[in-house]
Chain A
Amino acid sequence: MSGKMNRRSFLKVMGWSGAGVALTGCDMPTTVTLEEGKEEVVSYLMPEEYVIPGVGVWYASTCTQCAAGCGIHGRVREGRVLKLEGNPDAAVNNGKLCMMGQAGVQGHYNPDRITSPMMRTGGSLTPISWDKALGVLEEKLGAVNGDRFAWFTGSISGHQSVLLTNHLDAMGSTNHYAHEVVNNAVSRAVNQDMLGEANPRLRLDKAKMIVSFGADFMGAGQSPVQYAGQYAKFRTNKERGLLVQIESKMSLTGGSADLWLAIKPGTEAVLALGMANLLLNKIKISDAGIPADVRTLINTYDVTTVARITGLAGDRIQRVTQLLSERTPSLVLAGAGVEGQAQGYATTAAIMMLNHILGNVGKTIESAGDFPFPQLMAKQGGTADLVAFAEAAKAKKLDAVIFHGSNPVYSAPKSLGLTEALANIGFKVAISQFPDETAMAADLVLPMDSYLEDWGTQVPADQAETNAIHVQQPLMEKLNAETKGLGDILLTLLKQRKKDEYGQFEDYYAYLRNAFAAMPTSVKNDAKSNDEFWNTALQTGVIKVDSGTKTLQSTVVSFAAPVVDDSAGLTLLPSPRLGLFDGRHANLPWLQEAPDQISKVVWDSWVEMHPDTAAKMGIGNLDLVEVSSAQGSVKLRVVLLKGMHADAVAIPLGQGHEAYGRYAKGLGVNPLQILDATTDAKTGELAMYSTRVTVKRIGPADSLSIVRMGTGAGDSQVGRKLVVTVPVEQVRRTEGT
């Protein structure tokens, strides 16, 4: 141990400080020596015991394709990683993996990766050496006044997050902007206020009925594999779970609903209040804990009014509400389309209130306990930080920024004026694997390791039954000599500021070894030595963390009355999808060629409309149209789908890249660009689902308009017995479910 570091700063450096952690006093770590860290070249003539040419070996690591943090196993043969599968030891994904996780190898082996540091000289980015790059970093960041420096990232957790926070501290700044397009920031705010926890543990598997207001929990959600696994249990329980999905555009989850209801966009709060009205006034459930103003608000929404506003049939609303009161415990969820409204907080609160009324809190919504290492917990992104960052840049409050794991130049609506405002920031650094739009706008680009080459720890925000830290380890040698891991870059930056504290760590690996050695015995289980603990952690990829048991509070907060926009026009839904997600996976050819789950389109952008809406405007399937908002317009093809509300049009996210390599560049359009910059008053999150648009036909369909899988006969089974649907009563008789 370096004598310069006291115990408290040691804990902070290592990320283990926090409530209720007992550290052993005597088991202080030793620094890895040069001898231990050195590289050796081993000939296959004398292979190591565990390397057998021709035999694949599976190693544990962690997926970073989205923020869910699923555990993975990577098959390594002759030093190359070939295939990824879910890690059965990781409770979050239970051995399963989604399409984005499967395609992780294509990011790793992507032909368009950045292979050397680049600096902007004379207007264009030119390759430079790492020494030069680090020199520039030290010089430029050294000259920045603390609070004029910022980090701009996606969701980030684990020891990388610890180092990032520590680097901000060292710089004397508090500006960490975390941006995610696909986020649940509004739900987190509501949960924090009503339940006392931002990320409670959802138990879909314990629910007898789920009513989802546009929550695509199995698709582009926060932890799709976890919730799909829970969904499987929900469906195969002794009493088969009933799923009602209420949304304006059919999501992947909506495709599996027993009852899918198309609701007029922006009227979800009205429906939730109407259902509360039925539960309290008709079914006579106790209104205990509901504030008087909310109670009054509820009383104003009788079924007739709600049916008129939402466009849903009154008897349908009554039936669903009745069933909710009978099938307990149930679970009511709010999704992106609800959170992303101009009154996102109020709408989400109205929906979450139903869980309180139905007594679901504590049954299908549990406490996730107190995670003992708050420094390691995920700092989850949202869009409020994107807005705040754009404001800060416009107000010339920033001189230097480092981007990582987020692509704001692509995903910020034009109306935020971010691209222009970036010119106000003198020094922009991008730590990136790919030449994405943000990297191309940076002054210094640092090439990053893929997640299959890098060390790290990830703490899933949506933890499964057992809380855990997931370990990320390199599955193979770096493909490019010049790339560096995020942890290593952070450590280098910290060494430039605080040599005395961080100088002892040769690299991020050494830092992690130290951090693991310093872990409290409570998580080390029965490991006899630090080496044994380290090896076990790498083998299993999972460190289970006991977070105790805790009871959630169940309260209802006051929220604003719904405001329904009755003006004519169509609401634009920029819908994320499992696959290209928020656009970050547009450079993975497997995911480009995988048909969109609902429309079955490949390699393109399209706008989804209900056939009735299109017919009124004289628009036919696959016609070319112009979709215009007050902020701009995009030209793309129409796909007619009945899984749409007549007042909504949806443009799936992911395409419209102006950079980002050969697979992504120049394909389709980016609907994020034409969104209004409206924000939710309470949380400051962008109201991404409230932009009004008009659609105008500008051209007919042609043969290569839109490429879809299997479009014959309007996607009907034309009487063939392909997918047979049977009523649940029949299955109850034959299988007793």
Chain B
Amino acid sequence: MSLDNILNHWSDYRKGSEDGGHHDYEHRWAMAINLDLCIGCNACSTACYAENNLAVVGKERFEKGQAMHWMRIERYWDQQELEHPEQGASFLPMMCQQCGAATCEPVCPVAATYHTPDGLNAQVYNRCIGSRYCSNNCPFRVRYFNFYSYYDSSWPEPMEQQLNPDISVRDKGVMEKCTFCMQRIRSVKDKAFMEDRPVQDGEVVPACAQSCPTSAIVFGDTMDDGSMVSKLWKKHQVERGVYQKTKLAKKDADLRGYRIFEELNVDPSVMYLERVREDI
């Protein structure tokens, strides 16, 4: 995308999600995360470090909010009025929600963050100038900025040998975030293309979903009606698109599916299923 291209197509680029967005999508990758099965164990998060060359920043930088955990488990305490949290902890796996109407995209001065035909918010590391506007604009706080180069501190010899060669190691001054394991999607798509067939449901498994001991994370393509993730979205009456549409679509408000910050109209690609508790 050259600069001319960006300037000439700026209005297309900004076309709203309610008007069908600006893409003829090939896929729309999405997740369904069952919070009733999430036990908060960190397997997904660690698998993400292993797969995506995430830097370890250390205590001091973690304290400054510079940790690079693309996939993090947030833990909330509800029932704060009680002496003890009698229904346990509320765990929330939080990663880039790959919004259909992403607030991070239009604010990038250099279009380093853009929307792919797969429905993902991609980050072009080479183009990123580190303005951090995208991070500032993200309601989910899932964009991570490289305040430092971590080559030596995070991967002292021979740890660099573990780095995944399918993706880059990001340098100082660059924003990064969850890609839904873009490299895995890429290799599956390439394979399907070579074999002249469509991508099958279940072929792409991101590292987090692969590792999850309770299989709380389901990943797939919502443009494929037969996919597990499509069926789950349908079953829970969560639809792509903006708030009003979804609101109308959901006939049974008691169904467990919801998207976080639905009211912001950012059209997230991650549907969560409410956590269930039996009150005894």
Contacts and interface: CB of A to CB of B under 8 A. Distances in A.
Interface string B55-97: 0111110110001010011111110101111111111100000
A694 B216 CA distance: 41
A481 B39 CA distance: 41
Nearest to A111: B156
A715 interface: yes
A730 B253 CA distance: 10
Contacts of B213: 93, 96-98, 218, 224-225, 228-229, 232
B212 interface: yes
Contacts of A39: none
B162 A105 contact: yes
A260 B277 CA distance: 11
* Most chain B beta-carbon contacts within 10 A, residue among A98, A261, A714: A98
A111 B157 contact: yes
Interface in B189-232: 207, 210-216
B56 A589 contact: yes
Contact of B211 (A86, A231, A253, A259): A86
B42 A724 contact: no
B6 interface: no
Interface residues of B, number: 76
Interface string B155-172: 011110111110000000
A66 interface: no
Interface in B134-190: 154, 156-159, 161-165
A260 B87 contact: yes
Given A250-B85, A257-B88, A733-B254, A723 B37 contact: no
A564 B157 CA distance: 54
A704 B45 CA distance: 24
B271 to A, nearest CB: 12
A590 interface: yes
Interface stretch (A181-189, A405-413, A592-600, A630-638): A592-600
Contact of B84 (A54, A591, A643, A731): A643
A631 B265 CA distance: 59
Nearest to A319: B280
A703 interface: yes
A392 interface: no
B102 interface: no
Interface stretch (A75-83, A284-292, A542-550): A75-83
Contacts of A229: 213-215
A146 to B, nearest CB: 41
Contacts of A49: none
A604 interface: yes
B258 interface: yes
Interface string B250-278: 00101110101110000000001011111
A395 interface: no
A479 B159 CA distance: 11
Nearest to B54: A590
Given A110-B159, A709-B72, A721-B260, A598 B89 contact: yes
Contacts of A728: 276-279
A99 B46 contact: yes
B128 interface: no
Interface string B106-140: 00000000000000000000000000000000000
B239 interface: no
A259 B39 CA distance: 15
A256 interface: yes
Interface residues of A, number: 96
Contact of B47 (A102, A612, A662, A731): A102
B40 interface: yes
B88 A103 contact: no
Nearest to A244: B280
Contacts of A228: 39, 41, 213-214
Nearest to B263: A721
A259 B277 CA distance: 8
A721 B268 CA distance: 14
A323 B43 contact: no
B92 A83 contact: no
Interface in B226-244: none
A715 B280 contact: no
Given A258-B280, A591-B46, A714-B80, A83 B164 contact: yes
Nearest to B37: A232
B50 interface: yes
Contacts of B49: 102, 590, 593
B162 A106 contact: yes
B32 interface: no
* Most chain A beta-carbon contacts within 10 A, residue among B36, B39, B58: B39
Nearest to B210: A85
B35 interface: yes
A598 B56 contact: no
A612 B84 CA distance: 11
Contacts of B277: 258, 725-728
B105 interface: no
B175 to A, nearest CB: 20
B278 A96 contact: no
B60 A99 contact: no
Contact of B165 (A77, A252, A578, A662): A77
A627 interface: no
B76 A259 contact: no
A148 interface: no
Interface in A420-434: none
A15 to B, nearest CB: 31
Contact of A734 (B69, B82, B256): B256
Contact of A224 (B41, B157, B210, B211): B41
Nearest to B166: A56
A261 B280 CA distance: 12
A709 B91 CA distance: 13
Contacts of A721: 258, 260-262
A255 B91 contact: yes
Contacts of A106: 159, 162
A262 B84 contact: yes
B279 A579 contact: no
Contacts of A109: 158-159, 161-162
A84 B62 contact: no
B260 A105 contact: no
B41 A717 contact: no
Contacts of B82: 642
A603 B45 contact: no
B278 A727 contact: yes
Nearest to A717: B76
B85 A642 contact: yes
Contacts of A218: 39, 41, 213
B256 A735 contact: yes
Given A85-B210, A590-B49, 14 more contacts: A85-B47, A86-B210, A219-B41, A254-B88, A262-B83, A589-B56, A593-B57, A710-B75, A723-B91, A724-B272, A725-B78, A726-B277, A728-B278, A734-B255
Interface of B: 35-37, 39-43, 45-47, 49-51, 56-60, 62-63, 67, 69, 72-78, 80, 82-92, 154, 156-159, 161-165, 207, 210-216, 252, 254-256, 258, 260-262, 272, 274-280
11 contacts: A80-B162, A82-B163, A97-B213, A250-B89, A256-B89, A260-B87, A594-B45, A595-B42, A704-B59, A717-B90, A723-B78
Interface of A: 54, 77-78, 80-86, 93, 95-99, 102-103, 105-106, 108-111, 218-219, 224-225, 228-229, 231-232, 235-236, 240, 242, 244-245, 250, 252-262, 319-320, 323, 479, 578-579, 589-595, 597-598, 600, 602-604, 612, 642-643, 662, 703-704, 707, 709-710, 714-717, 720-728, 730-731, 733-735
